[in-house]
Chain A
Amino acid sequence: MMQITRDTAWPEISFEERIGTAEFRIHERAHIVVDGDTCRGCSTRECVTACPANLFVPTSDGGILFNYENCFECGTCYMVCNKEGAISWSYPEGGFGIVFHRT
């Protein structure tokens, strides 16, 4: 029998561990490119909250640090972005990117 106690009911999981449960086959070419200059003029930062993979990180100088590697390829970022041309979005090369688990 599986033992579940109140103490173990909610195991803490860091975002790194969380994203580590998904498999990403990383290609050297970034399939999403973020224009840092445009982002510096953005105060709303929709992408920072909405991206399920947490790939948009605000920097101290008011910009956005972006990492394409652990991307679900969902499209949320370009859809919520209010700044024309800030996010150039395409699919990764065939065979690369997110690979959801088979049983």
Chain B
Amino acid sequence: MTTTRSHDADVIVVGAGPAGSCAALQLARAGRQVILVERGPFPGAKNMYGGVVYPRILDELIPSWWETAPVQRWVVRRSTMVLSETGALTVDYRNPAWGAPPYNGATAYRPDFDNWLAQQAVDAGATLVTSTTVTGLLHDAGGRVNGVRTDRPDGDLTAPIVIACDGVNSFLAKEAGLYPHTDPANFTLGVKETLALPKHVIDERFNVRDDHGVDIEILGGTSGVNGGGFVYTNLDTVSIGAVLKLPKLAAQSKRPEEIIAGLKSHPAIAPLVEGGEVKEYSAHVIPEAGLSMMPTMVADGLLVAGDAAAMCLAAGIWLEGVNFAMASGMYAAQAAHDALARNDVSARGLGSYTDRLNATFVLRDHKKLRKIPGLVLSDRVQQKYPGFVTGVVDRVFRVDNPSPKPGLRRIVHEERKKAGIRLVDLLKDGWTGMRGFG
């Protein structure tokens, strides 16, 4: 292995979240000297999501990861709800096989999960430095990135390659000029309450047992602010929250915690969460716009991964981020390893990172679904479709004797008119959805 004696390490990874820890793990396994810098007192201290994690991508890096990962519950039920003022349409799918190895998704607390993942990197030989904030990039005489400045005394750390996994606010990607797309419309605020409820109460309310859990994604119910809601079961808590488009949130008068309160009081949600005492209130910003907001991911001596590269998939029925972060960290590490071996850490030398992203789900999913985040957060889908859909279902199931049952076509037509949706727009959105999801 090449060692870079004039440097502190072969690679410095900034941020011990899922992207950073997977990068550090992969590099340490390959025999590289890697320093993983984390500003929190422990990995995961700053990190928050809904949250469900889909760790399939870890199969290779951490075989049988499910035996050691700190999971709350294995998701065996996935529900998508559409809420009107008082009504709710739910599509619910259950597969008990997802509750056994090799599993599918799991609820987990990020401070637990991220700490566990970082520990895997440490066990493989990475050096973890916590309670250390990176304040900027260092450059060599040629302008190439060759390290980071930290807030420790004499805190400069040098390496031929820096991997920025510094999260959604990525000051490093911005400093490097890679991230010009900071339009607030690309971001949402996620706010969450973790509600304490006894395990048996959660089991009964959500119709699961043992370590099986439920993932509920919600359209509507966010007080008219474009976004969505979620309810996830942990072992003895339920996570409930909302994801809110920043400009829409800022332009009205309801505060985030009031929007959660509104969701909690919806007739379809209240019975699931009532009596739950707030154990923790939390918030985090989400890069929501997908492909269109992604920064340039490679510069001389620098790679960007995870939320820092906006690798969050917010596509309605698919809300994923941690898996994209873990994969991008892994591929960044592989590209860094190859570049070091070839002694070319220029943007060109590191270019295999984008090749790897393009060849795998990381960018293929984002490219295929590139129009879906915009569609899901659009005014029509948010403001008009929930009322339209629940209106149709309500009329289908309402028995209005002595009136005869109206035909489905008439119901759809009348409800569409009532919701103020033009046929041409409905067809257009349907086409966008079909092309994205199809």
Contact = CB atoms under 8 A, between A and B. Distances in A.
Report if A and B associate in a common complex.
yes
Interface of A: 2, 4, 8-11, 13, 15, 17-19, 21-22, 25, 44, 46-47, 49-50, 52-54, 72-76, 79-80, 90-95, 97-103
B282 A72 contact: yes
Nearest to A19: B281
Nearest to B275: A4
B335 interface: no
Nearest to B184: A79
Interface string B28-70: 0000000000011110111110000000000000000000001
Nearest to A31: B133
Contacts of B47: 100
Interface string B257-291: 10000001100001000110111111111000000
B313 interface: no
B110 A100 contact: yes
Nearest to A89: B169
A49 B150 CA distance: 33
Contacts of A72: 48, 282-284
B274 A99 contact: no
Contacts of A52: 189, 191, 256-257, 283
A44 B249 CA distance: 12
B197 A2 contact: yes
A18 B283 contact: no
Given A52-B257, A94-B151, A100 B277 contact: no
Contacts of A80: 184, 246-247, 249-250
B405 to A, nearest CB: 36
B201 interface: yes
A22 B133 contact: no
B86 to A, nearest CB: 17
Given A9-B270, A93-B133, A100-B46, 7 more contacts: A2-B197, A44-B250, A90-B135, A92-B39, A94-B133, A99-B40, A103-B109
A93 B134 CA distance: 9
B46 A101 contact: no
A79 B246 contact: yes
A8, A76, A98 interface centre (most CB from chain B within 10 Å): A76
**Interface magnitude class on chain B:** 35 or more
Contacts of A50: 189, 246, 249-250, 256
A54 B46 CA distance: 18
Contacts of B280: 21-22, 100-101
A98 B70 CA distance: 21
Nearest to A97: B46
B198 interface: yes
Contacts of A98: 45-46
B275 A2 contact: yes
A21 B39 contact: no
Given A9-B274, A18-B257, A94 B131 contact: yes
The 3 closest A-B pairs by CB, nearest first: A95-B131, A46-B250, A52-B283
B253 interface: yes
A74 B189 contact: yes
Interface string B331-344: 00000000000000
A95 B130 contact: yes
Contacts of B46: 73, 97-100
Contact of B151 (A2, A18, A93): A93
Contacts of B48: 72, 100
Given A72-B283, A74-B283, A93-B133, A25 B41 contact: yes
B130 A75 contact: no
A47 B115 CA distance: 32
B252 A49 contact: yes
B220 to A, nearest CB: 20
Contacts of A73: 46, 169
A75 B169 contact: yes
A46 B42 contact: no
A18 B278 contact: yes
A58 B251 CA distance: 16
B407 to A, nearest CB: 41
A37 B376 CA distance: 39
Given A9-B275, A92-B133, A93-B151, A100 B254 contact: no
A74 B282 CA distance: 10
A8 B151 contact: no
Contacts of B429: none
Nearest to B201: A2
Contacts of A44: 250
